[in-house]
A = this chain, B = another copy of it.
Amino acid sequence: MVVAEMSMSLDGFVAGPDATLDDPLGRGGMDLHEWAFRLAAWRKPHGLEGGEVDVDSALVEKHLAATGAVVMGRKMFSGGSGPWAGDPNANGWWGDDPPFRKPVFVVTHHAREPLELGATTFTFVTAGVEQAIADATTAGSGKDVHISGGADVVQQAIRAGLVDVIDLQIVPLLLGSGVRLFDGLEPRRLEAGTVVAAPRATHVRYTL
């Protein structure tokens, strides 16, 4: 199953405006992930101590356990305009020990050898999101393929009919501007499934 998971503001944005290298999610964009960042379930794989445990934790743990491989866009790998733009050998912005610890497939126009950082291997796919999802499906050994963003990669995958499920975290914030998750998509009906209500996000699973 191919799952796109995104934290979206109530006004539809998955990143704020004016993304920079230091602030790759744009103004206010980090706040969209507050519901997760504060959790022990999120902090531990990121090498951080402590954190909270509540209804959101179970969701993060469930998603992590269900995921076999990850697909992301180039900007999500290298951070906004990113170091890779200038230096083809730069290691993105995930540091020496990225939290994924699973095969990650980066959709990009720039060919590059696979990059191993800690327990995570980034493979760079220049043949488009369809190929990246196919490669991730093989690498994930039957577990879910998790499309982590950005919005453009999710939109490409939806348009190609490759997304089975959107796990949407609807965050009670208005960002006012930025990058919209649902943009340039054809009108369509989805099926709303399980809802987990929490103060920092309403988690809804949509089946396409």
Contact = CB atoms under 8 A, between A and B. Distances in A.
A173 B187 CA distance: 7
A192 B188 CA distance: 26
Interface stretch (A59-67, A114-122, A123-131, A198-206): A198-206
Contacts of A195: 195, 197, 202
Q: Which of A173, A174, A183, A187 has the most CB of B within 10 A?
A: A187
A140 to B, nearest CB: 27
Contact of A28 (B28, B187, B206): B187
Interface residues of A, number: 36
Contacts of A197: 192, 194-195, 197, 204
Nearest to A11: B182
Given A10-B206, A199-B191, A186 B176 contact: yes
A186 B172 contact: no
Nearest to A187: B176
A192 B187 contact: no
Interface in A146-184: 168, 170, 172-176, 180-183
A199 B192 contact: yes
A110 to B, nearest CB: 31
A10 to B, nearest CB: 6
A58 interface: no
Given A11-B12, A11-B185, A173 B190 contact: yes
30 contacts: A10-B182, A10-B190, A11-B12, A11-B182, A11-B185, A12-B12, A12-B182, A27-B187, A28-B187, A172-B189, A172-B190, A172-B191, A173-B189, A173-B190, A174-B182, A174-B186, A174-B188, A174-B189, A174-B190, A176-B186, A176-B187, A192-B198, A192-B199, A192-B200, A192-B201, A192-B202, A194-B197, A195-B195, A195-B197, A202-B204
